[in-house]
């Protein structure tokens, strides 16, 4: 407008000075009006088009400086279109910045800027994006600029707008509504408000905009500017999509694909690639950006993170469980390497210890899931691979992963936190994390272990084997006599064994070893180095540790 005022001044032989708007007010005793200015300088649409072109087409220098190029708001809208969240754009602008932004994102849009194009266009549902330029395109002479031109639309444009305003929700941004009489009329013709209208504004709306917003029952949103709003909206949509978008592969389908690959040795490469790809999807989530380590600890945040970890690992958990239950010895390293990769995926070593330690929870889930699958099918070589082979690369150097993967290490900063995950049934759970894992993994294991009592036995056996191997691997803390116990200790007192109708898993194993000797399957599979002596030493350590505490448990 300032440039148009300067042109008007020159046409009349005057100088508008450094402040064209003030000059115009003093000279004409009224506020400058875009429509009047353009009408003064050019009487026909063709003449107006010639004048306006220079305002839209950048010179090489302007292009280099980013002037007259798509701004952050254009790019953010294009990103929302690319992601499928925006399907229709109605704009009063006749520049081509939106088209450029869409092209940069690889989106081919259907552009409607004339009545003929509106009549011949594909239905909205059959296009990725429809861009409706109600005032035309500056490349064509029939653009709407003056008040008279903005007063009405061709009926074909009106018909299109009626469908849009009836069938879609709206985000209104950067529109004063003051001059676009026909567009206001189109909005007010629509009596149905199927979906919400959000009206972005900076301060109070002017009279016309306020009237239309009230008619549409619009939700007002106070914004700083369009660039900030659309960038923020895009970022929030991406964040929600990242955590809540349904995974294209369900746990059941993931399990079925593993079964298909396992039955055919020729599919071993496909199986490797499939497991590796799903493993990397899990690792991609374990970042400081998605799970910041400096967030103040709260009960709500702890529970939320546990469930988020479970959400994006559920497919890999199903894959590992299936593979460890049905797989052969030739595949055992595949499951161990997947576990090792997830355990070493975290990218931060500093922060609040509760959150830093909790990043191993996905690996703990995978270890329990795979271990339960292996125990349930009697595949102790696979169990040995999971417990012994994975390495942990921590801030203090490399060590056996089993040293880090026990529930107390994963949530050692707040050992009472797991109680938040269990129902308040009035019971005191001495091993709440183990109880929770028992409940959490039951649905995944039900296909392989239908009986609840058999599942309890498999769970107890896995945790007991875990404790013995943990001792046998001689972690640094073993010298203090500590052992990572589990819910299996509920059967170690006379009262508890009666209440839970179970025999201590240690006694069951004693009977097996007495009967089978060196042929006991875990020994033949290589656990405890295949040494009966190492096994007995580890078992005696675990049993002794339990014996000093069982009278206080359950």
Structure tokens at 178: 């003051």
Residue 248 DSSP code: S
Averaged pLDDT for residues 171-184? 91
Answer with the residue of higher pLDDT: 128 or 541: 541
Same domain for 440 and 479: yes
Decide: 481 and 467 in contact? Cβ < 8 Å: no
pLDDT of 281 reads: 92
Same domain for 492 and 387: yes
pLDDT of 126 reads: 82
Same domain for 314 and 293: yes
- Cα–Cα dist 432/416, whole Å: 8
pLDDT of 496 reads: 46
Quick count: other Cβ atoms within 10 Å of Cβ 37? 19
Render pLDDT for 30-72 as a digit per residue (tens, 0 to 9): 888 877 787 788 777 777 777 777 888 888 888 888 888 999 9
What residues are paired with 415 via a beta bridge?
A: none
Quick count: other Cβ atoms within 10 Å of Cβ 108? 11
Residue 320 lies in a domain: yes
Same domain for 460 and 395: yes
Find the domain containing 47 and state its range: 2-62
Same domain for 460 and 386: yes
- Cα–Cα dist 419/438, whole Å: 14
- Cα–Cα dist 444/251, whole Å: 9
Domain boundary among 62, 83, 112: 62
Helix H or strand E segment including 71: none
**What are φ and ψ of residue 375, in 5° steps?**
-65, -45
Residue 244 lies in a domain: no
Residue 390 lies in a domain: yes
pLDDT of 47 reads: 79
pLDDT of 500 reads: 44
Residue 87 lies in a domain: yes
The CA-atom distances, in angstroms, between 260 and each of 246, 256, 276, 375, 436 are 23, 6, 16, 22, 31
CA atoms within 13 A on the CB side of 183: 23
What is the domain-level CATH number for residue 232? 3.40.50
pLDDT of 292 reads: 84
Render pLDDT for 526-549 as a digit per residue (tens, 0 to 9): 999 999 999 999 999 998 888 766
Residue 26 lies in a domain: yes
Same domain for 540 and 429: yes
- Return the closest-CA partner of residue 373 out of 295, 299, 320: 320
Residue 245 lies in a domain: no
Averaged pLDDT for residues 370-394? 94
Render pLDDT for 441-488 as a digit per residue (tens, 0 to 9): 999 999 999 999 999 999 999 999 999 999 988 755 545 677 888 888
Q: Is the pLDDT of residue 188 over 60?
A: yes
Same domain for 417 and 375: yes
SS3 84: coil
pLDDT of 70 reads: 93
Q: Is the pLDDT of residue 326 over 70?
A: yes
Averaged pLDDT for residues 253-274? 90
Averaged pLDDT for residues 249-262? 88
Q: Which are the contacts of 133, defined by CB distance < 8 A and separation ≥ 6?
A: 91, 93, 94, 111, 112, 113
Residue 140 lies in a domain: yes
User: Which has the minimum average pLDDT: 9-13, 95-99, 185-189?
Assistant: 9-13
Same domain for 107 and 139: yes
Domain boundary among 236, 267, 286: 236
Same domain for 401 and 269: yes
pLDDT of 554 reads: 45
pLDDT of 537 reads: 92
Q: Is the pLDDT of residue 246 over 50?
A: no
Question: Which value, to the nearest 10 degrees, does the dihedral of the CA atoms of residues 131, 137, 138, 140 take?
Answer: 150
Render pLDDT for 481-517 as a digit per residue (tens, 0 to 9): 778 888 888 766 544 444 445 678 899 999 999 999 9
% of the chain at pLDDT higher than 90: 48
Residue 324 lies in a domain: yes
Answer with the residue of higher pLDDT: 545 or 319: 319
How big is the chain by its Cα radius of gyration, in Å? 34
Buried b (16+ CB within 10 A) or exposed e, 21-34: eebbeeeeeeebbe
Domain boundary among 201, 236, 271: 236
pLDDT of 393 reads: 86
pLDDT of 463 reads: 94
pLDDT of 55 reads: 84
Q: Is the pLDDT of residue 361 over 50?
A: yes
- Looking at every residue in the chain, the average pLDDT score rounds to 86
Q: Per-residue confidence at 396, pLDDT binned at 50, 70, 90?
A: confident
Helix H or strand E segment including 170: strand 170-172
Averaged pLDDT for residues 287-297? 83
- Cα–Cα dist 360/506, whole Å: 28
Torsion 513-516-522-528 (CA) sign: positive
% of the chain at pLDDT higher than 70: 89
> Scanning the structure block, which residue is given the tokens 């949509």?
237
Q: Is the pLDDT of residue 245 over 70?
A: no
Same domain for 290 and 410: yes
Same domain for 206 and 168: yes
- Return the closest-CA partner of residue 225 out of 217, 233, 236: 233
pTM of the model: 0.57
Averaged pLDDT for residues 70-88? 92
Q: Is the pLDDT of residue 378 over 70?
A: yes
**What are φ and ψ of residue 407, in 5° steps?**
-60, -35
How many distinct structural domains can be found in the chain?
Answer: 3
The CA-atom distances, in angstroms, between 447 and each of 252, 373, 376, 443 are 10, 10, 11, 8
- Cα–Cα dist 504/22, whole Å: 93
Buried b (16+ CB within 10 A) or exposed e, 237-272: beeeeeeeeeeebebeebbebbeebbeeeeeeeebe
**What are φ and ψ of residue 138, in 5° steps?**
-65, -15
pLDDT of 486 reads: 84
Same domain for 525 and 395: yes
Give the per-residue SS3 of 195-217: CCEEEEECCCCCHHHHHHHHHCC
Q: Is the pLDDT of residue 269 over 60?
A: yes
């Amino acid at each position: 407008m300032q440039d148009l005022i300067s042109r008007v001044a020159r046409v009349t032989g005057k100088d508008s000075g450094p402040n064209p708007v003030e000059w115009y007010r003093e000279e004409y005793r009224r506020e400058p009006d875009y429509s009047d200015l353009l009408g003064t300088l050019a009487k026909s649409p063709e003449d107006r088009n010639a004048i306006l072109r220079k305002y839209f087409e950048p010179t090489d220098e302007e292009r280099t400086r980013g002037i007259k190029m798509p701004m952050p708001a254009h790019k953010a809208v294009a990103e929302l279109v690319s992601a499928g969240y925006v399907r229709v754009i109605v704009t009063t602008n006749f520049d081509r910045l939106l088209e450029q932004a869409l092209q940069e994102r690889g989106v081919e849009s259907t552009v409607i800027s004339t009545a003929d194009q509106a009549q011949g266009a594909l239905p909205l549902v059959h296009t990725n994006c429809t861009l409706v330029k109600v005032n035309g395109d500056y490349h064509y002479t029939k653009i709407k600029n003056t008040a008279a031109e903005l007063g009405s639309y061709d009926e074909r444009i009106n018909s299109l707008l009626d469908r849009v305003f009836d069938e879609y929700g709206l985000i209104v941004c950067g529109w004063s509504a003051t001059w676009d009489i026909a567009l206001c009329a189109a909005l007010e013709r629509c009596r149905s408000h199927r979906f919400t209208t959000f009206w972005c504004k900076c301060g109070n709306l002017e009279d016309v905009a306020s009237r239309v917003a009230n008619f549409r029952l619009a939700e007002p949103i106070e914004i700083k500017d369009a660039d900030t709003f659309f960038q923020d909206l895009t970022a929030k949509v991406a964040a929600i999509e990242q955590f809540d978008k349904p995974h294209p592969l369900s746990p059941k389908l993931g399990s079925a694909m593993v079964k298909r690959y396992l039955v055919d040795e020729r599919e071993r490469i496909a199986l490797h690639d499939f497991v590796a790809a799903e493993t990397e999807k899990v690792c991609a989530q374990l970042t400081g950006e998605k799970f910041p380590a400096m967030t103040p600890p709260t009960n709500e945040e702890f529970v939320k993170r546990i469930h988020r970890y479970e959400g994006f690992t559920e497919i890999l958990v199903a894959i590992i469980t299936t593979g460890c239950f049905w797989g052969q010895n030739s595949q055992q390293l595949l499951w161990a390497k997947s576990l090792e990769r997830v355990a070493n995926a975290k990218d931060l070593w500093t922060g609040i210890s509760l959150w830093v330690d909790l990043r191993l929870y996905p690996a703990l889930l995978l270890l329990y899931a795979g271990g339960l699958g292996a125990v349930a099918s009697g595949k102790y070589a696979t169990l040995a691979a999971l417990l012994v082979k994975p390495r942990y690369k921590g801030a203090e150097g490399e060590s056996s992963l089993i040293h880090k993967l026990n529930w107390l290490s994963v949530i050692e900063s707040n050992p009472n936190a797991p109680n938040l995950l269990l129902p308040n049934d009035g019971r005191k759970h001495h091993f709440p994390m183990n109880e929770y894992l028992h409940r959490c993994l039951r649905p995944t294991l039900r296909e392989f272990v239908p009986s609840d009592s058999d599942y309890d036995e498999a769970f107890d056996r896995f945790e007991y084997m875990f404790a013995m191997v943990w001792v046998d691997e001689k972690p640094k803390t073993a010298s203090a006599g500590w052992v990572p116990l589990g819910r299996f200790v509920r059967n170690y007192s006379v009262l508890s064994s009666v209440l839970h109708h179970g025999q201590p898993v240690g006694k069951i194993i004693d009977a097996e070893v007495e009967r089978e000797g060196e042929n006991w399957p875990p020994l033949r599979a290589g656990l405890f180095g295949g040494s009966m002596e190492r096994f007995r030493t580890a078992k005696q350590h675990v049993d002794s540790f339990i014996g000093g505490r069982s009278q206080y448990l359950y």
